[in-house]
Amino acid sequence: MMSQPPLSPSVNQDVATPRKLFLQGHPGLNGRRKAKNNIYHGVLLAGTLFAVVMLGLLLFQVIRSSIGWLDWQFLTSLPSRFPKKAGILSAMAGSLWTIGLTALIALPIGIATALYLEEYSDARKWFNRIIQLNISNLAGVPSIVYGMLGLAVFVRLAGFGRSILSGALTLALLILPVIIVTAQEALKSVPLSLKEASYALGVSKWQTITGVVLPYSMPGILTGAILAISRAMGEAAPLIIVGAAGYIAFLPTSPLDAFTVLPIQIFNWTSRPQEEFQHVASAGIIVLIALLLTTNTIAILLRNKYQNRMD
Amino acid sequence: MTGEIITFKKRSSKQTQLQEFIVRMILLFCASISIITTIAVVATLFGESASFFQEVPLREFLFGTRWSPTLVPRHFGILPLLTGTLMIALASSFISIPFGLGSAIYLSEYAPKKVRRVLKPILEILAGIPSIVFGFFALTFITPLLQALIPSTQIFNALSAGIAVGIMTIPLVASVSEDAMSAVPDSMRKGAFALGATRMEVTTGIVLPAAVSGIGASFILAISRAIGETMIVAIAAGQSPVLTLNPLESIQTMTGFMVNLSLGDIQHGTIEYKTVFAVGSMLFLMTFVMNLLARLTIHRYKEARK
Amino acid sequence: MAEKAGMKMRAEQVNFWYGEHQALKNITLDIPENKITALIGPSGCGKTTFLKILNRMNDYVDGARAEGIIHYQGMNLIGDSLDVAALRMQIGMVFQKPNPFPKSIYENVIYGPKRHGIRKKSQLDQLVEQSLKQAAIWDEVKDNLHKSALALSGGQQQRLCIARCLAMQPDLILMDEPTAALDPISTQSIEDLLLTLKEKYTIIIVTHNMQQAARVSDQTAFFLLGEIIEVGETKEMFLNAKHETTERYISGRFG
């Protein structure tokens, strides 16, 4: 598989092996090899910077387009047919409701699953291996497919209708794999010696988990959870399938209300023919990104707080 | 040592065992939700698809070249959606594979620690940007750029959406490939360096061949993600299910169709509703097989390294 | 009573396997009350394995299997019907590396008692003071009880771990090379502590350090390749070992 440089001493004395050329001080060969290496290095660096440049361009484009459109009126108004009057309030409220509910559903289930897999199950048993493989596979299922599951099961079968609850349940299933896998990594990082110390005091497994394992791994679990929740906050496709509306002119008051979320509202504006709505959309994108940044900051603060308590 | 005597309330082992048993059952139930999810996905998709195929012959669905499920006369040939989807996947892989792999090689083999500490978070930020934002970027930035370069480019076209999907999946290729490369034991690199190989020779001759399965897996994952990507194509690729291979024309992908139809109010039991599920099944099957392949490859090289 | 007079515990014909590998062969050993028993021998000789059988820490090792009888308070420590949690309340353990929980000093000491039903603040306070005093660390930490245990030095951490163990008011204490990770001064203070603890507790200590065994223990058992070669009073054994292998090991000619 690997191309090896010729190592065995050559039978024919006249053949120029790399070593001989090197010993003869052959400048061309080494110079060329070094130059090639440098060019390669340059190309790789440029390739890596491509992503950086694209990120910069993307943010630049969004900010430039939103100038003059992102104002207090935009933040506090309901959507409108007129670009100047359009606002994002109902979408923000919808997003907060949906994401809050999603976190409430997905976090306990995700952490419990990770606990089962890491602390209770025997990883060699076929059933547990299937659970593990299944989780990594679910992580790759397109989000729109979760939308179809939500439509069939939560909207119709369970009768929750096209509501916040249906949307949150759908998103919860969508982000479960991420929460589980990151929580598993965090649980794996708990030193065995701490668990042993707890067991040696005659403390039961579950008490050891609540007393030592969870406090120790909480920063890692939280980080993963917030990552997952950020992902849910940016999702539009599954919620469109579940039936979130593009136009909601009221604020939700219960989980069974109809709703829209920021990405869908943005999508709705992007697909309008009037040029002005592109600016409204970009203002919406800024709000969405700001919300994502806030969540991530909260995550970091929470994590630091936990870590301080641990040290 | 004096003082009052402290007595421990010893819980009976039965009590503890009962608690442990209950906890175990609750956790097991939560863990099985992921299995239930998979079963539910398969059941709903294939259940609705089954009734779709009672009305539409499988042959027409797979080999028909016209797609107009909502207009009479209805046609259910999925080929236009399939070519649209594959064009997006292809265009995106022209971006994500070279740039993702390049980033992975640079980060794993070349980058000094300081540079890594800056570049890795930037890639993570890129990975965290919602796809809707990439869709906006495609429509308002990439498309005008393409139109300036090639005037015949339509407002909605496969290339623009494909490029945006490609940019979005760079971090995926980069992180999975980098994982594979950092799993290559350092002793192999040192052996080659000791023979006087340059860093490039070590990378292309030793590291890449040793990490090839993981790198391959990252490509498969990226393409699978491109196939399932929805919002970018819904915004930028258009809504014209025509059988074309011209990336500058408006097309429709499988996901684009599903979203487009769902924006209207589709009633359960109608042929439209069933069509969405039939297309969804196709999408699920394609991505499922690709993901399984990639996961198994990654699992294999991880086991081999143990 | 299966234990002889003055004996805390008696192991009879104990065999132990890790999968196919037999780690202990026909171990028979009496543990005298309020004495320190040292288990010595080269690495891999089975002394730590034996120690961990006594509080069932081997239960977490895949493929571990034990046979024989260990008499203790009318129970057999080998066997499925044993209430392991109750056993561990009686038999405390101190590990090779100090392993305090990443919590405050106070929280560390009350970790066990709190989970075994002691809730009253006054009782917990009393337990903390009493245990830390017994572990000879009270004077060093009494003003910082709510500081993190991880801020303590290695030797202090180990004494805290001993206090955590004492807070359960155990009957017998197992120590697995408790000074292996410590500097000579900390080692000294732990050894002094052991000598005061044996007035109240029975202690079994695994050690690599011959001098330590000679200094602190009353009885010594020499393990080799999973068997006990010799067991007897420490002074007696270190002055004139009955077996030549023991003599060679004690004098540092192998191991």
Contacts of B130 in chain A (CB under 8 A): 233-236, 263, 288, 292
- Which pLDDT tens digit goes with each residue over A95-149? 999 999 999 999 999 999 999 999 998 877 888 888 988 998 899 999 999 999 9
- Of B46, B80, B50, the C-alpha closest to B63 is B80
Would you place residue B51 in the very low, low, confident or very high pLDDT band (cuts 50, 70, 90)? Answer: very high
Confirm whether the ipTM is greater than 0.90. yes
Quote the minimal CA–CA distance from B219 to chain C in Å: 38
Task: Look at residue A9 in the predicted model and tell me its pLDDT.
Answer: 44
Coil vs helix vs strand at C16 = strand
Q: With an 8 Å Cβ cutoff, are A153 and B141 in contact? A: no
Answer yes or no: do C168 and B8 touch at CB < 8 A. yes
- Among B137-141, B149-153, C249-253, name the one with the lowest average pLDDT: C249-253
The most distant pair of C-alpha atoms in chain C lies apart, rounded to whole Å, by: 57
Q: What homologous superfamily is domain C7-250 in, according to CATH?
A: P-loop containing nucleotide triphosphate hydrolases (3.40.50.300)
Q: What is the mean pLDDT of chain C?
A: 91
B184 φ/ψ angles, rounded to the nearest 5 degrees: -70, 125
CA distance A212 to chain C (A): 7
pLDDT of A262: 95
Q: Which residues of A touch C53 (CB under 8 A)?
A: none
DSSP state of C58: G
Cite the DSSP H helix spans in chain A.
Answer: 18-23, 27-66, 72-76, 89-115, 126-138, 143-150, 164-188, 192-199, 205-208, 214-234, 237-242, 262-270, 276-310
Q: What is the pTM of this model?
A: 0.88
Read off φ and ψ for residue C172, nearest 5 degrees: -145, 140
List the domain boundaries for chain C. Answer: 7-250
Q: Is B258 helix (H, G, I), strand (E, B) or coil?
A: helix
What's the gap between Cα B161 and its chain centre? 15
Which residues in A lie closer than 8 A to residue B140 (C-beta atoms)?
61, 65, 278, 282
What percent of chain A shows pLDDT beyond 70?
Answer: 89
Ordered by start, the domain boundaries in chain B are 81-305
Contacts of C133 in chain B (CB under 8 A): 1
Which chain A residues are closer than 8 Å to B33 by Cβ? 109, 113, 176
* Cβ separation B13–C134 shorter than 8 A: no
Please identify, in words, the CATH class of the domain defined by B81-305.
mainly alpha
CA distance C166 to C163: 5
* Identity of residue A161: G
* C168–A194 CB contact, under 8 Å: no
CA–CA separation, B144 and B130 (whole Å): 21
- B269-285 b/e (C-beta count within 10 Å ≥ 16 → b): eebebbbbbbbbbbbbe
Q: How far apart are CA B162 and CA B87, in angstroms?
A: 7
Q: Which of A42, A129, A108, C44 is nearest to B110 (CA)?
A: A42
Is the CB of residue C1 less than 8 Å from the CB of residue C184? no
Q: A264 or A298, which is more confident?
A: A264
Which residues 86-105 of B are in CB contact (within 8 Å) with A?
Answer: 98-99, 102-103, 105
Q: Tell me what percent of the residues of chain B surpass a pLDDT of 70.
A: 95
CA dist B21 → A216, B27, B80, B110, C1 (Å): 24, 10, 55, 52, 35
Q: Indicate if the pLDDT at residue A86 is higher than 60.
A: yes
Q: Answer yes or no: are the C-beta atoms of C59 and C84 closer than 8 Å.
A: yes
